[in-house]
Amino acid sequence: MAKLKKLKRYQYERYAILCRLAYPNNDIEQYPLSEFGIREIFDRWGRPTVRVFWQAQKEEVIVVFRGSLSISDWLTNFYFVPVTYQHGDVKYKIHAGYQRLLSQISCPPDRVDTIKTVEQEIIDTLTPLVEQGKRVSLTGHSSGGAISVLLADRLERRWNGCIKRVVTFGQPSCGLWSFKRGYCLHRRTYRVVCDLDVVSFLPPLPMVYWHVGRMLWLHNEKIYENTSAVFRFSKSLLSWLMMPISYHFMRKYIRNKDLFDEH
């Protein structure tokens, strides 16, 4: 069995920063991205929802999905009626709301004649890059993470071996057991969860919706791998109950040493 690769710190930081920049009111101009090719893809309201980054001399293309932004976006998370998706001989049931985000018509503000979906716009952008031999990494926060997982599986089936990795942050689950069983990128998918992030427990249907890939749980300055939901909840609850006492521990004082100026 192939050894599972670790997610390195510089990779984590890069994907996390790009996910943060996917939201409005974050000044993308302050980051050194001038050497990147960048393509923005818009949702049905004309808002940027996906960014594709690549460099001519690098093999990696990064597709970044924005998470929920408006009330309608948040309501999409609760539209969890399962729908059937079929790709060739593979058929599975997935979250209807997240499928809808991929299949919505993309409406760029500078074009009014488009009839392409968000998914098709992404594929059209990636096609020449993949044909050049580049590999694709996908990342996203919240519902953007769920969409990146759905699309990654489809891209891998379209271009076998094209996916480098998938990294999500605070991602809700996006498919039923049939999707978990059929998902072809478990060993290249990293699902990062911070403390008791309630969105990561959505949809609220345990044993119906399932997560895929490898979970990295960030809690109390440690990384736990593939912990169960019950363990995460109980440990987080215990931390909350112990919080007043934990502020007295000496490690808290040592950790704050950087707050003092050196003289």
- The domain that holds 71 is classified in CATH as 3.40.50.1820
Residue 208 in any domain: the answer is yes
Residue 24 in any domain: the answer is yes
Residue 62 in any domain: the answer is yes
Residue 120 in any domain: the answer is yes
- Residue 224, judged by CB atoms within 10 A of its CB (0-12, 13-18, 19+), counts as middle
Domain that residue 95 falls in: 9-259
Q: Which residues pair with 48 in a beta bridge?
A: 42
Please check whether residue 146 is in contact with residue 174, taking contact to mean a CB–CB distance below 8 angstroms. yes
Residue 212 in any domain: the answer is yes
Residue 1 in any domain: the answer is no
Alpha helices in the chain (DSSP H): 9-21, 71-76, 96-103, 118-131, 143-158, 177-182, 229-246, 250-255
> What does the block give as tokens for 148?
């990146």
Alpha carbon 117 to chain centroid, angstroms: 20
Residue 92 in any domain: the answer is yes
Taking only the tens of pLDDT, the chain with its 263 residues reads 344 567 888 888 888 888 888 887 666 566 666 678 889 999 998 899 999 999 888 899 999 999 988 888 888 989 999 999 988 888 999 999 999 999 999 988 877 667 899 999 999 999 999 999 999 999 999 999 999 999 999 999 999 999 999 999 999 999 999 999 999 999 999 999 888 788 888 998 888 999 999 998 887 777 888 888 777 778 767 766 766 555 555 555 555 556 555 54
Which residues 6+ apart lie within 8 Å of 118 measured at CB? 41, 43, 49, 50, 101, 102, 103, 104, 105, 106
Please check whether residue 20 is in contact with residue 26, taking contact to mean a CB–CB distance below 8 angstroms. yes
Quote the number of domains for the chain.
1
Q: Which residues pair with 41 in a beta bridge?
A: 50
Tell me the residue type at 60: E
Residue 162 in any domain: the answer is yes
Q: How far apart are CA 140 and CA 171, in angstroms?
A: 8
Q: Which residues pair with 211 in a beta bridge?
A: none
- Residue 39, judged by CB atoms within 10 A of its CB (0-12, 13-18, 19+), counts as middle
